[in-house]
A = this chain, B = another copy of it.
Amino acid sequence: MYKNRRIFRESRKVILDVIDHIGVFFLAISGVLTASEKDMDFFGGYIIAFIASLGGGTLRDLLLNTDVAWMSSMSLIITVMLGATIGIFFQSSFREMRKTFFVFDTLGMSLFTIAGLQKGLEFDQLPFVALLLGVITATFGGVIRDVLCNDIPLIFRKEVYATACISGGGIYLVGTYLGFGNSVPLLVISMSVIVIIRTLAVWRKWHMPLVKNVFNKK
């Protein structure tokens, strides 16, 4: 029984790790595509791939005043290099299969949110701060990418991206305080909420109201 639980826990860790690498892989590809549109060269492409995929987690670790996670993980670094290289050579194909792409990107993002939140809790942060760290992990890679590409970050203008992260992260947080922390069902539910909200938002073209339209639209 106990042994089973350990095996179960180990396998859960492996699953999370796999999803983490998938998320990084797809964010690296998406970083390269952005760099390509901005007329960047190869070096710029790889750097943007790194920042888009690992930037959010880096900022989280800096804020937590702890070691930056990817710096001791050769497998994450190789995943980024691989994603960027594949992204460079199959740019046009990726642009055509936007939908497949979207699925993995959203999956990675939902995992990043929960992983960041979980790390915040492990570092004894306030619940709200842990939630914030989850959202930062999932979104700030894209924010720094857009800043380096000289755009106003996309998620500040258009996407329901962050709202999805906050909702799913909030459910995970409540679940944790109800005693279901670290359990697989809670993980599945909160990640699903993120994926569903984002998918619905993109499908139905939901947008957050603009700050300046608060009276007109409401």
A12: chain B residues at CB < 8 Å are none
> Is A74 a contact of B128 with CB atoms below 8 Å?
yes
1/0 per residue, CB under 8 A from B, across A146-180: the answer is: 01111111011110001100000000000000000
A143: chain B residues at CB < 8 Å are 148
A63: chain B residues at CB < 8 Å are 58, 62, 68, 71
The stretch from A34-42, A101-109, A111-119, A185-193 touching chain B is A34-42
> Could you name 25 residue pairs across A and B whose Cβ atoms are closer than 8 Å?
A35-B211, A38-B156, A39-B210, A39-B212, A40-B152, A40-B156, A40-B210, A41-B207, A41-B210, A41-B211, A42-B208, A42-B211, A44-B155, A44-B211, A47-B162, A58-B63, A62-B62, A65-B68, A71-B126, A72-B126, A72-B129, A88-B211, A148-B156, A150-B151, A150-B152
> Is A156 a contact of B35 with CB atoms below 8 Å?
yes
Task: Give the B-binding residues of A (Cβ under 8 A).
Answer: 32, 35-45, 47-48, 58, 62-63, 65-68, 71-72, 74, 77, 88-89, 91, 125-126, 128-129, 143, 147-153, 155-158, 162-163, 207-212, 214
A45: chain B residues at CB < 8 Å are 211
Do A149 and B152 form a contact, CB below 8 Å, given A63-B68, A77-B129, A126-B71?
yes
A163: chain B residues at CB < 8 Å are 43
Closest 9 CB pairs of A and B: A44-B156, A41-B208, A36-B211, A45-B211, A36-B212, A43-B162, A40-B156, A150-B152, A42-B208
Residue of B nearest to A87 (CB): B211
A209: chain B residues at CB < 8 Å are 41-42
A162: chain B residues at CB < 8 Å are 43, 47
A150: chain B residues at CB < 8 Å are 150-152
Distance, CA A39 to CA B43, complexed state (A): 29
A125: chain B residues at CB < 8 Å are 71-72
